[in-house]
Amino acid sequence: MTTMTTTRARETLTREAGNFIRAFAGSFWRNFAISLLVALVVSGITAFAARAELRIRIDEGVMEPVPIAIPDFVAATGNNDVATGLAEVIRGNLERSGLFRPLDPRSFIETTTDINSAPRFGDWRIIQAAALVNGQVTMQDDGRLRVEFRLWDVYAEQQMVGLQFFTTPENWRRVGHLISDAIYERLTGESGYFDTRIVFVSEQGPKTNRVKRLTIMDQDGFNPQFLTNGRYLVLTPRFNPTAQTITFMSYLNERPRVYIFDLETGREEILEGFTGMTFAPRFSPDGNNVVMSMARDGNSDIYLMDLRTRQTRRITSDPSIDTAPSFSPDGTQITFESDRGGSQQLYVMNADGSNPRRISFGEGRYATPVWSPRGDLIAFTKMSGGSFGIGVMRPDGTGERMLTRSFLDEGPTWSPNGRVILFTRQAPNGPTYVYSIDLTGRNERRLLTPGEASDPAWSPLIK
């Protein structure tokens, strides 16, 4: 029995041991295989990681004007005035933008004599020019002026853009603006705004007897022309999308009404069909409609007039003051100011008047909202704490940011690229001028106007 037991036990033991060894062996090999695999993967990852490239995130830089060298253009046929003038126009434009720092020509080492050969880049790097503009003016046999230029990346030693223009000689300033736009666009990636005009109300004479005339000029202050004779008051001029027509409000014949003015023909026309006083007009993005306010019996509402059919349509019908309408660039929405909530605030509604919603919620009152041409922001005037400022916010009301503040800043208008804002600034008991401010809140400057000025409107890019 003992033997049996022992034998059985031994058998059992042997079987179990075999199982164990088999199991162990199985588990060993399985483990070994898995471990080998793991080892390979891990060592592979390690090796990869060890050789992983050094990757660095650069999230800090400067916001400084780009140093750019713009030598006088080469006068191939002796048109020295134009050649010098073109470089001056371009330098002035780029400098005023605040994004460029044209370098003093006296610091230039290389004298450009032939724009069709590559510059000596080293000479320009020494004076720290990041970009170089070489240009040439040639009077052609057909009496036209040929202006060509090249923009060079001094550090990469590459041409960034090269263009030529043909024009009548007296039109050379405009070519300067077009070249400025090309340079601006290439270096900033945004469209330029130099080949544009600004319409505004120029103010002359003593405060008691002000002569206010509608005036138009190039964006850099040149070629100012009076559009009205100053015998009646004009306010809030606005361009249509082709910069050919202006709509404004005037007190002609003591009737405050909205007019349109054709720049080409000089023809002025009242937008009839309203029973009350009309004001605060603005074109729709397609140029076919004018949206404006009409006041009657102490109530102001927003109306739309189709310029082709002269049909009018009422957009708002709230018993409060709704005014200062401005279309979104896609034409689907309108921002406006209203006191329907008890105080003067900004609203956005669909272009047909549906779904109005308040977007301004800060302290103070808000007025004159203007939708940016690039659609991302709405500029406005804000009154709070006894002073006025120009600010921007997103169309949903978020991201409010004040750009200026003073005794009286009001009436913003956008540059066609949505980058710069013009506004009227009046000093206490002082003069009234138009100022510009960059969207970043930098580069505040006074616009070059002949005398005092207010109510600016920036034209779209002239096509």
Partner 1 sequence: MSDTVGPLPDDAPYRGLTVSAILHAGIIVLTLITWPRFMDIPEPPVELPVELLPVSDETNIIPMEKLEDIRPPEPEPATEPEPEPRVAVAEPQPEPEPAPIEEVPPPPTPNTEPAPEEDLTTPTPEEAPVEEVTPREKPRPPAPPAEEPDRRSEDDIIAGLTDLEDEDRPRDRAPEERTAPADRTTQGVGAQTGLTVSEIDSFKQQIAPCWNVPAGSRNPEELVVTLRVRLNRDGSLAGMPEYEDIGRVSSSGPAYRAAAESARRAVIQCAPYTLPADRYDSWQEIVLDFDPAAMAGR
| Residue (237 or 353) nearer to partner 1, CB | 237
Q: Which amino acid is at 381?
A: T
Q: How many residues does the chain have?
A: 463
Candidate residues 77, 84, 139, 190; the one interacting with partner 1 per rule CB under 8 A: 190
Half-sphere exposure of 75 toward its Cβ, with a 13 Å CA cutoff? 12
Find out whether 82 and 145 touch, Cβ atoms under 8 Å.
Answer: yes
Q: Starting from the edge strand earliest in sequence, which strands make up the sheet with 378-384, in order?
A: 365-371, 378-384, 387-393, 401-402
Candidate residues 156, 269, 286, 341; the one interacting with partner 1 per rule CB under 8 A: 156
Asked if 116 is part of the footprint of partner 1 (rule: CB under 8 A), the reply reads yes
CB of 395 to partner 1, least distance (A): 13
How many whole angstroms separate alpha carbon 208 and alpha carbon 98? 37
Asked if 231 is part of the footprint of partner 1 (rule: CB under 8 A), the reply reads no
Of 357-386, binders to partner 1 (CB under 8 A) are: 374, 376
Candidate residues 77, 84, 159, 384; the one interacting with partner 1 per rule CB under 8 A: 159
Of 241-260, binders to partner 1 (CB under 8 A) are: 243-244
Candidate residues 39, 269, 313, 361; the one interacting with partner 1 per rule CB under 8 A: 39
How many whole angstroms separate alpha carbon 245 and alpha carbon 264? 8
| Residue (349 or 434) nearer to partner 1, CB | 434
What is the size of the binding site for partner 1 (CB under 8 A)? Answer: 121
How many whole angstroms separate alpha carbon 198 and alpha carbon 219? 6
Of 389-408, binders to partner 1 (CB under 8 A) are: 404, 406
Of 419-458, binders to partner 1 (CB under 8 A) are: 419, 425, 435, 437-451
CB of 442 to partner 1, least distance (A): 5
Asked if 139 is part of the footprint of partner 1 (rule: CB under 8 A), the reply reads no
Q: Which amino acid is at 406?
A: S
CB of 352 to partner 1, least distance (A): 28
CB of 406 to partner 1, least distance (A): 7
Three-class DSSP category at 207: helix
Crossing angle of helices 172-188 and 80-97, in 10° steps, is 40
Asked if 88 is part of the footprint of partner 1 (rule: CB under 8 A), the reply reads no
Phi and psi angles of residue 266, each rounded to the nearest 5 degrees, phi first: 75, 10
Which listed range, 30-38, 77-85, 274-282, 386-394, lies at the site for partner 1 (CB under 8 A)? Answer: 30-38
Strand segments, DSSP code E, in 86-233 are 100-102, 131-139, 145-153, 158-167, 197-204, 211-218, 225-226
Asked if 17 is part of the footprint of partner 1 (rule: CB under 8 A), the reply reads yes
How many whole angstroms separate alpha carbon 114 and alpha carbon 109? 15
**414: burial class by Cβ within 10 Å (0-12, 13-18, 19+)?**
buried
Candidate residues 6, 7, 23, 296; the one interacting with partner 1 per rule CB under 8 A: 23
DSSP 8-class letter at 298: T
Of 276-335, binders to partner 1 (CB under 8 A) are: none
Candidate residues 77, 84, 167, 426; the one interacting with partner 1 per rule CB under 8 A: 167
CB of 233 to partner 1, least distance (A): 18
